[in-house]
Structure 1
Amino acid sequence: MPEPTVRSHPEEPQPVPSGAGAGTAAPAPAPAPEDPGAASPKEAAPAARPRRRGAHRRRRERTRGLWADAWYDLRRNPVFTVSALLILFLLAVAVRPELIASRDPLSCDLGRALGGPAPGHWFGFDAQGCDVYTRTVHGARASIAVAVCATLGTALVGGVLGGLAGFFGGWADGVLSRVTDVFFGIPIVLGGLVFLAMVRAEGIWPVVWVIVALGWPQAARIARGSVITVRQNDFVQAARALGAGSTRILVRHVLPNAVAPVIVVMTIALGTYVALEATLSFLGIGLRPPTVSWGVAISEASDGMQFRNAPHILLYPAAALSVTVLAFIMLGDAVRDALDPKLR
């Protein structure tokens, strides 16, 4: 009788003998006992933390600079979008008015004086028989050109003088402060009337020069205050401690961080200067015929009898002037909100 085989590991299954039948199945291995202290497969590795939506975008926002952050905010501001598109349209009309008004603004027919709207003449005719629509479109060139040139000149003169006085201080700062106080005491309309009455020159440049001569103190005071604020920052003191010269500090560190308030003020001043040109032309001391501008058109339509008989000669150029001023002011407000960190 054969002796029984002794198993060294009872839990291990025995191999099936080669002589066993094909239909005989091997016994299933016994399940290993569970260790109560072992972690389950689901608990073995911590679950992956879900990626927060917008985390990458927030990291990009933190790495943006002042101007990139301002542009990011402006693109999402509907006020900026509407005002910028309107201003681009007005600039295109000022550069190429013949694109939407092919007639000559100086071609008039007295037989149609104060006539109402007609086919091809949707705004009617003025007191000289000129097409109101054509003169309104062509008037954008002179009015916007005066405002843009005056704004650039005011920002350049006032920004340079105010920036230098605020950076170097001393007697230059004191002299500039007293000069700006004197200019602030002169009303810009009254000063323009006196100056233009003495010059008696035609064209847009006398009006531009008088606006620059009387408007630069505002830009100078804003630039001076902004430069004084930036000059006290730690990065300016660090650059000076590292041996950087005054010119390098002013150009590389102070001006890029101090120019934002000047840009905001000058953007709003664009609309103010459009209205100022119209005011001086309305008083008969700014632009004069044959120059075509909104102020000249409003001045020619200021007769009460003509306005009662043909109100369209005043309404259309006045509406164009109002829309332009509103667009520039809206643009300035949007730029101010984007560049002012206190409003975020």
Structure 2
Amino acid sequence: MNRLAKVGLIIIFALVIAALFAPWIATHDVGATDLSARYLPPSSAHYFGTDATGRDIFSRVIYGARISLRVGVTVVIISATVGTIVGAIAGYYGGWVDRFIAGYLFNVFLAFPGLLLAIAMVAFLGAGLNKLILALSIIGWVGYARVMRAQVLKVRELEFVQAARALGASDLYILWRHILPNAIQPLIVQASLGMAGAILSEASLSFLGLGVPPPAPSWGVMLEEARDLATLQTAPHALIFPGAAVALSVLAFNFVGDGLRERLDPRRHVDR
């Protein structure tokens, strides 16, 4: 695994630690306000300074990791599960099943930009963490389904699959025992990149007021609360730290995804 992937793993490990041990790492109550301490600069009392209502930004960034990782992990699990099932069915059975799923169903979801479709879904479902997760899962499964379909189309023609079919194995057995284990590697890469996409989408929708409602310590909410020009000029730390948290998280999962793609690429081993 390359150096950037190792750096990404270190950042992800730090995020997981922050999310798991947030009550012990946070130095202040994330909801405690103190108007006399508005926009204090970073100091030993407030490592990242304070926001417009005197809340400690460091503590809110730490707790924000919980929201981001919860959204990312849940969306990836739901999307990967649904996408794997749908993609495997389309690739294995082919024919009219594949034409309907790949030719029509995929194109319906791919006809709109992902973020625009997410905004429409959240606007329809309403704001809230669980509704945000549902909306991102509804639009996220297509990527996993396309990857799985492409893999199944290749694996189903291999000799061991044909032999299992000739011996009378059921379709479910063949898919579970022979095809999925040999088609799962690209999904691992897709899941890592999907985590980055889910974290970025949550921050974007929360910034637009369509995600996690305030005063939840979401990184997107923190950016939205500090986005005016006056804040940027007088208290840039209110934007810099939550923005850096989003950027580092997305970069970390992208680095790991690229490293996994390079590691799991069969052509890399053939060249050696």
Matching residue's letter, 2:156:
R
How big is each residue's C-alpha offset from its partner over 1:26-76, in whole Å with a ceiling of 9 and x where there is no partner?
xxxxxxxxxxxxxxxxxxxxxxxxxxxxxxxxxxxxxxxxxxxxxxxx4xx
The corresponding residue for 1:282 is 207
Asked if 1:125 is matched to 2:50, the reply is yes
The corresponding residue for 1:189 is 115
Q: Distance in 2 between matches of 1:223 and 1:267?
A: 15
1:237 to 162, 180, 201: 162
Would you tell me which structure has more helix in proportion to its own residues? 2
Asked if the contact 2:29/2:59 (under 8 Å) is kept, the reply is: yes
Q: Distance in 2 between matches of 1:115 and 1:89?
A: 26
Task: Give the superposition deviation at 1:300.
Answer: 0.7
Asked if the contact 1:93/1:99 (under 8 Å) is kept, the reply is: no
What's the % identity of the aligned pairs?
Answer: 39
Q: Distance in 1 between matches of 2:96 and 2:210?
A: 38
Task: Give the superposition deviation at 1:188.
Answer: 2.0
Matching residue's letter, 1:304:
L
Task: Give the superposition deviation at 1:118.
Answer: 3.0
What residue ranges of structure 1 are gaps of 5+ in the alignment? 1-73
Task: Give the superposition deviation at 1:158.
Answer: 0.8
The corresponding residue for 1:303 is 228
Q: Distance in 1 between matches of 2:14 and 2:48?
A: 20
The corresponding residue for 2:126 is 200
Task: Give the superposition deviation at 1:95.
Answer: 2.0
Q: Distance in 2 between matches of 1:264 and 1:115?
A: 41
1:159 to 77, 84, 94: 84
The corresponding residue for 1:88 is 13
Matching residue's letter, 1:98:
P
The corresponding residue for 2:216 is 291
Asked if 1:107 is matched to 2:32, the reply is yes
Task: Give the superposition deviation at 1:165.
Answer: 1.3
Matching residue's letter, 1:85:
I
Q: Distance in 1 between matches of 2:154 and 2:23?
A: 48
What residue ranges of structure 2 are gaps of 5+ in the alignment? none
Q: Distance in 1 between matches of 2:124 and 2:177?
A: 43
The corresponding residue for 1:321 is 246
Task: Give the superposition deviation at 1:335.
Answer: 0.9
Task: Give the superposition deviation at 1:303.
Answer: 0.9
Asked if 1:223 is matched to 2:148, the reply is yes
Q: Distance in 1 between matches of 2:214 and 2:159?
A: 56
Q: Distance in 2 between matches of 1:241 and 1:195?
A: 45
TM-score, normalization by structure 2: 0.94
Secondary structure in structure 2 of the residue aligned to 1:115: coil
Between the two proteins, the alignment pairs up a number of residues equal to: 268
Q: Distance in 1 between matches of 2:86 and 2:167?
A: 27
The structure whose Rg is larger is 1
The corresponding residue for 2:135 is 210
Asked if 1:330 is matched to 2:255, the reply is yes
Q: Distance in 1 between matches of 2:125 and 2:3?
A: 44
Asked if the contact 2:127/2:212 (under 8 Å) is kept, the reply is: no
Asked if the contact 2:87/2:144 (under 8 Å) is kept, the reply is: yes
Per the alignment, do residues 197 and 248 of structure 1 end up closer, same or farther by CA in structure 2, a change over 3 Å counting?
A: closer
Task: Give the superposition deviation at 1:312.
Answer: 0.4
